[in-house]
Structure 1
């Protein structure tokens, strides 16, 4: 539609008689809608906006005066393409064209086949004769043409739009400037050269070009203008109801007696639809009237504190809060995503679909970086609307490093030319300290709590005679700030950022503005005993924002000129890189480095040591560390150059500068000593920005089949071993070592006197009764309870005959009528230890390997002979556990064997396991891990559930064994259970202490135990990373590189790497990892692989896990 009587309505009126009042109402409705909505300049569609902004616009609407044009459909068309038309008439698209033309011979530059045909038809024998009578030649002429499909559409659209604008101008005696532009262009020769539009489908230019796309949209809308106008008239009643509803809400909002929860509002111009995110508008009455329209504008320098929910500022003698609300929200639906700048809200939604950010979140939130950046742009734009001066002093929490201020600093610098950051501690000191009581070296501390972080900043007064001349009131003293000391770092509660505004949750429950709790008071005497802080004269506790101090600081600095009022002792800064075969820290900024914080003046920081760039790297990336912290900052220094990869390692000098308040305060340049490549400047990159959803996962070695167990290769040999036969022979040998089983006894008569041997013992010979064979009998083979003197020549004896190398001897010698019964051997401490060692050497390996990967003797492919023998062996082992006189250490070794057989274990053994679980202490966590198998049996699942009830370090060790025992064990966890395991694992890794020192040269046991316990936790971490291939989406996403728990575990691994490097023990892992590491990198394979997997490095794709070695279990 145009205005009161427009061309679209003229067309309608020629077909359908319409009431003049209805037409006027539709026009006013359209004008009202266009006043309240903002249109996307690219698509022309109405943009979403917040409820508070929409209601404010509705409240401020007034109908157009009589005779004035309304904002209707034609207005929307015109405004959408106005800027595009202005640009296109000054330069249309052109394309090279060619045509045949009769040209003077000297002007011909190109001939084609047609030219030669024309020329051949002329009389003459050569070219001179052919041109003698007519010096013109048919040639090819090339030129730039505007007769293109997009320009034809543009011309047709302009003709149609000019007609509508002429009718509109005639109705209101007011001509649109765009009409003059269009008519002037239509009369130009360029327009005449363009052909007619033939209703072709749009080409790529019309759909993608910034300006032609708008013309195409305008053309489409004009095609349906009459139909759309008729539909508007037919729906006037529904449009009236929509308008009435929102005018009612606007009136309620304007009265200020109710608090309305802000949310996105969506608009559809074509259907006159105004749709809120939720079907209803949530509101509640308030006791005091809400003040509306509290806009302010400040044109003098200000100091702003963004570390609070509502920014606090000082532009004069008093500090104030910015009026209204100050927050940003991201609403996320199934197919919709809307960002809202909420500066006039009464209340907000706290909803799972909503991400809410306050100014303080720019410093302390762990939200997505893109959300923080968009919120920072919104906040700084709002500040620029209020504070019109280019000078803005903004207070910085002392607990944060320059890298953590990146988002806020960059956006403020973009909006305010004179944006200067100032630590809150300096502002508080300037505001609170009496300089008459200050002397050189005078120390104070500033205690501040912002964002749940309590930090203490030490300030020391230093004397500058030049400053005393400039600012006598300071007595020449400036403050030197030391790196802050973090006393507590407790993240603020989720509801705390909303303390300045009412909220409503997803259960439609209203929550009043919460009063932030004051931090607990600190004992200054305890602070003085802290070696990180030391002694001080007095302390300043920051309770209110020191913006007045910040503004006073600015006034003093203006008078002091280039003499700074404070110095900054920047924190120690290091990067981690490969050095001497290990990942070690390289110092960029040493402890105690002091800089002059003046904006726009870089300060050189000396780096004494050269840095070596290793060869064969396409790029270099080094994580950044602050102070003594074992956790990286989340930033890394990256080097990219066309000279990479280097052919050989290159030593580089480092040039480091620090510029206070700049977008990138630290500038680090690598300068090759040998000039192998141009200087390369490092870029600081966030290591937490990349979201990966399909990061590499460790593989599981391919399981062996039962047939393969017959031919297992021997390590370091071409021969193979039959594990099934090994088990049968080993158990037979075990029976001989445990039981005394009677053998046939031979009777004989002593035929010679006892004679001494060379060792002092006595021997004799006896003749058997049946074969008259002479048998050697020695004193040492006589059974206990008898002596050799008890047997004389002619006495009958009995013994077990033993033959070796053709000679016979008697063993277990006794009287003629002696009889033996089957019994258990007697074991002392030495023989028990020897038997346990024998069991481990002979049975652990074959049993572990045979029952690995869920194999069972009930499997269809299990050899029948072995299955029957194994059942007998299992019953035998169970009977050994029932022997009361068998030593406990031997029973424990047999218990491990039974655990290895998991679901093949008998019921009596399962009951024994249940009793172990009830006790809550596991003597052998590894054995319990063997017993879990793949949780096929009910008793295995019950055992697993019992373990999950209390995840101790022993339980983690159990899982570490089980997860590399069977491929499918990790699949038995759901996301909630795995979250519990990861939390406990993170805590356990964080509690690893340095390796114990040796008490003596031979004391290796403590180091071995420490390394084994550490390795088991790392093996579990490697195993749970296989959840990245889980079918369950939630389980698969748990350990993706962007997750907080993954980053926390990566930091734990880095700390463990440092502990391992400091220790003398060797990290030996059951998981055999084949991995290519950089030359000279001596990091253990397990730690190196974990680093790649946890960070999502593509190098993890090249890791191959070949097998699980059970050497530790033997």
Structure 2
């Protein structure tokens, strides 16, 4: 008990030790100080480099405090001197065995035979001697002033070392004399101080530290310890002055430790920081959170070191393991956390944790995350290293069999495999399905080529793995109990995949404290119920003899396999069909796959025995590249594995393309199981080993966005350049003249007719027609008359020489011809022309050629005849033309096809469209029967009219595929259209677009040899969602931060869309068709790359490639008539 806290604050180490023995009046205070220091040093762990107390988890701290016991009389307290000694002990011992040395030179009088070097001083000394030559000068005294070089230890760092150990020896002797404890280091110091090395070292002059003292591992610790020695007396006085605060700190944390030791409370784990000088223990958050539990927690669970081969299963938070036929669970919760704020980052091992804190500043990882998560690779590696180290501290045998989920491939196991291999010399991964087969399959019931399936659920994925029994006569001789059967594992089939969001909520089988301060109990695992009969109907699985439903860990099967394999020697007890792998590169101008591992490739999974895998095709390395990097793909998936094969060689860049042979080997369980070699066929350079590089997931917040083409002004429309020349067109005059010609094509309107007399007989022409001439009544001019110019229903054969006829006169270059020829008394009336199928088709084509281009261009970019910049004459003429086109819609005899063309032209006018067109549009949208999405997309324009806003709102309530195809045209019709969507609407559109792209199938086969329509229709329906995606990427320029971030390259939806684009790219390459896009893209592609510009640009934009900055969208072309 402390009796007095008011004693003077200035105390010395000798007084401290004397008072601790009870010889002074302040003995209780001093003993309290020493007890506190010993308690604190027991609770913390010091950094061996800096000497500072390391942060640790709350659970680890409470366990340390709970295990504290005061030092005995024979054991000195861990005080400040103890800390100095322990921090420098190993460094001092190492330095005693090997001090730093540096070369030195000095003048010395040496025997002539020992002289190796002379300088100017040597010659000066020699010249002062009597004699005419060197022989005479040395005759009486065979010694010469020469340069002697030697290694000196009299260096600043060694002088500091000597000063430090001299001072330290005095304090250790003081502790020995007062407390009776002699440190082993004291004897080493005293011995060294008597050595010749110590005598050769000079005195320390309190110089500033040199680079060696600050950077050398051992001298830096000596320097730090020397500084602590200099402030030792002041630190002791400061400890004494803070005694009340130190008492409160110790009492508080002893209380927490008692609660933890009793098992009546559970604590939310968090980092705890320490300040040794101030005797502070500070948790990450200001308050330690504890909850009373109804059932006492057993704190005395431990695992003795296991020195036999072990099979361990990481499917649960507390791994299951087996040695022989004994099944057990580890008491440790394999959890790792990293807490981070603006200034600090701390990693924690939570093996003894009662509960985790799901705090916003904490990232939590478990074994499941190491298997299935794609978070920061550095964090995964740190967690895997901590877990592997913990396993190695428990399992001391070099053999470790660790079970892996069947859904994972060797690349996804990279982080765990490397860290486990670093700790265990003979670590072997084993699929859970194989372990289950060896644990539960009865060899007496197995027949050759019979199949079983293993149903397993790990990490939110339920998979079915098919195993087929194969017979090996050699295996039957060696292991009769197997009846000669080994198992061949086929790739797993995933039948259920829980969403990552749901999986995140159920990830940890441990109580959790959420951000709201609420405790959440550990969820209980619910295994899905799978009907074996349904599996047999699944074509991916097929028939099988029986099913094994994994409800418990099959670790005993793993140990049984290990035991049998040791007896079998080099005969593998199971085979593995490794997954199909391919890399993608440009071949024949298109991005195509080169298959490294073909489907159905089977290997023997024996540790340390590489297996050659045949690669059937060569690979061409293009010239002029400093390095090569090819993404890796699994099976038919368009999503790369997150790894690339990278080639680097001094021979690069190549002068010309090189055809290479690919050599691939697979070594089961190795750090790098796949080894790929590129060997040139012509031997022009040494073979190159590919390195597998993890694709960096760089977070980009300002990825480039497509630019909308610069809009034309009303003045520009008078001078629109024509294709292929320097001439221009006036679109305003064009459209006025085109509407006038349309009237002539649709209506028959009466014109002045002339009568005359046929003056000659009918004669044949070159084209199997007949012609004649007629004299006009009012003049003597001759008029050319042809049988094709007679009106419908009238035959030229009814008229002979001398017959009177009527006609319309047409003059051309001074010559006259007749048209609409009939009898003398024929009278024309105003009426619609009569159209048949051929004339309808011809009229539609004529309208598209004459009117599509000017109408689409004039009303592009939201232009309207109500604009102030619109020429008044054109506006008045256009209103009259719109009224005229509207009247055509009321002509009952006008064919529907021609009316549809008129409606499309009106749709292009968006806000200027008449009510009849608006009604036609709204009826289609309300019935969800959109026949022409381009028309509706053009009609939306700037979305300023109430009817346009209503249509857009209707589409956004349910963004169907039809709505997306409408948006594909609208988004490239007006530059501000993409700004109409808020965050929720953009998210819904992107999700729907991802679905639509995912539903695109390969181009269907042609129905006939000359069938081009099938491919064209497929290409058009494929192009529309791709153009929409390109337009939506303009949202990266949004002023709203949330919208701007939606399509950044690191976002999940962006990666999914990028995978869909790669998938469509393969389909387009297979179709042998040309993917035409209205969006004209100017982009520089690698030489020989024939990927369509739209797909190539999307690939660059979605992946955040720097090449996207060089993409220029020049215009949007709508001149195509389809």
Under a length normalisation based on structure 2, what TM-score does the superposition of the two structures give? 0.84
Determine which of 253, 277, 293 is the counterpart of 2:284: 277
Deviation of the 1:522 alpha carbon: 1.9
How do 1:225-304 and structure 2 match up within 5 A? 225-297=232-304, 298-304=306-312
Q: Does 1:330 align with 2:330?
A: no
Distance in 2 of aligned mates of 1:1103 and 1:726:
33
SS of match in other structure, 1:1112: coil
**What secondary structure does 1:634 align onto?**
strand
TM-superposed CA distance for 1:950, in Å, is 1.9
1:1029-1048 alignment runs, 5 A limit = 1032-1048=1040-1056
2:532 aligned residue: 523
Give the CA deviation at 1:373. Answer: 2.0
**Structure 1 contact 3–70 (Cα < 8 Å) conserved:** no
Q: Which of 511, 514, 539 matches 1:505? A: 514
Alignment map for 1:660-675 (pairs within 5 Å): 660-675=668-683
User: Secondary structure of 2:613's match?
Assistant: strand
Counterpart check, 1:51 vs 2:61: no
Which of residues 989, 995, 1007 is equivalent to 1:999? 1007
Matched, 1:436 2:436: no
Unaligned runs of 5+ in 1: none
- CA distance in 1: counterparts of 2:361 and 2:850, whole angstroms: 61
Aligned residue in 2 for 1:611: 619
Query: 1:256: how far off?
Result: 1.2
Return closer, same or farther for 1:942/1:309 CA change in 2, 3 Å cut-off.
farther
Judging changes above 3 Å, is the alpha-carbon distance between structure 1 residues 692 and 833 closer, same or farther for their aligned structure 2 residues? same
Match of 1:484 in 2: 492
CA pair 726-94 structure 1, distance change in 2 beyond 3 A: farther
What's the offset of the Cα at 1:382?
A: 1.8
Name the CA distance, whole Å, in 2 between partners of 1:1011 and 1:194.
88
Give the CA deviation at 1:1017: 2.0
Q: Distance in 2 between matches of 1:399 and 1:110?
A: 77
SS at match of 2:380: helix
Q: Distance in 1 between matches of 2:218 and 2:776?
A: 122
The residue that corresponds to 1:65 in the other structure is: 72
Instruction: Report what 1:33 is aligned to.
Output: 40
**Is residue 3–residue 168 contact of structure 1 (8 Å, CA) maintained in 2?**
no
Q: Provide the rounded CA distance (Å) in 2 between the counterparts of 1:732 and 1:999.
A: 42
Distance 1:670 1:752 in 2: 91
Matches of residues 549-948 of structure 1 in structure 2 within 5 Å?
Answer: 549-687=557-695, 689=697, 691=699, 695=703, 697-701=705-709, 709-727=717-735, 729-730=737-738, 733=741, 804-806=812-814, 834=842, 836-850=844-858, 852=860, 862=869, 866=871, 869-870=874-875, 872-873=877-878, 876-877=881-882, 880-881=885-886, 884-885=889-890, 889=897, 892-893=900-901, 896-897=904-905, 900=908, 917-931=925-939, 944-948=952-956
Q: Secondary structure at the match of 1:494?
A: helix
Cα pair distance change 1:1091/1:4, threshold 3 Å: same
Q: Is the contact made by 1:496 and 1:514 (CA closer than 8 Å) also made in structure 2?
A: no
CA deviation after TM superposition for structure 1 residue 960, in Å:
2.9
Equivalent position of 1:320 in the other structure: 328
Number of equivalent positions: 1095
Cα distance in 1 for residues equivalent to 2:262 and 2:508:
24
Q: State whether structure 2 residue 993 is matched by structure 1 residue 985.
A: yes
Q: How far off its partner does 1:406 sit? A: 2.0
Alignment of 1:149-548 (within 5 A): 165=172, 167-178=174-185, 196-197=204-205, 200=208, 207-222=214-229, 224-297=231-304, 298-491=306-499, 493-494=502-503, 497-498=506-507, 500-524=509-533, 526-548=534-556
Distance 1:206 1:1020 in 2: 64
8 A Cα contact 1:3 1:69, kept in partner: no
Distance change in 2, residues 1:777/1:645 (3 Å): closer
Change (3 A) 1:801 1:359: same
371-380 vs 693-702, which moves further: 693-702
Deviation at 1:60, TM superposition (A): 1.2
Aligned-pair CA distance for 1:383: 1.6
Secondary structure, counterpart of 2:593 in structure 1:
strand
Task: Provide, for residues 177-226 of structure 1, a one-character-per-residue CA deviation record: whole Å limited to 9, x for no partner.
Answer: 555566666776678656755564x6665555544544454455555555
Q: In structure 1, the residue corresponding to 2:641 is in which secondary structure?
A: coil
Q: CA deviation at 1:779?
A: 11
**Alpha-carbon distance between aligned partners in 2 of 1:489 and 1:783, rounded to the nearest angstrom:** 73
For the residues of structure 2 that align with 1:786 and 1:476, how far apart are their CA atoms? 96
1:660-713 CA deviation, whole Å, 9 max, x = no partner? 222222222222222222222222233355555555554555555666555444
Offset from partner CA, 1:740-797 (integer Å, 9 cap, x none):
889xx7798x6869999768899977767xx999999999999999999xx9xxxx99
**Cα root mean square deviation, aligned:** 4.9
Tell whether the 8 Å contact from 1:119 to 1:130 is kept in structure 2 after alignment: no
**Are the counterparts in 2 of residues 410 and 663 from structure 1 also a CA contact under 8 Å?**
yes
Note if contact 1:296-1:386 (Cα within 8 Å) is conserved in structure 2.
yes
| Pair 741,538 (structure 1): closer, same or farther in 2 beyond 3 Å | same
Instruction: Show CA shifts across 1:296-345 (max 9, x none).
Output: 02222221111233311122434222224222223333433332221122
SS for the counterpart of 2:68 is coil
Report the 3-state secondary structure (helix = DSSP H, G, I; strand = E; otherwise coil) of the residue aligned with 2:644: strand
- TM-score normalised according to structure 1 size: 0.85
Q: Which segment is superposed worse, 91-100 or 995-1004?
A: 91-100
**Higher mean Cα deviation, 285-294 or 275-284?**
275-284
Equivalences for 1:945-1094 in 2 at 5 Å?
A: 945-967=953-975, 969-970=977-978, 973-1028=981-1036, 1032-1094=1040-1102
Q: 1:432 Cα shift?
A: 1.8
| 1:751–1:329 CA distance, 2 compared to 1 (3 A) | closer
Rounded to whole Å, the distance in 2 between the matches of 1:271 and 1:1112 is: 80
Is this contact kept in 1: 2:269–2:357, CA < 8 A?
Answer: yes
More displaced, 1022-1031 or 538-547?
1022-1031
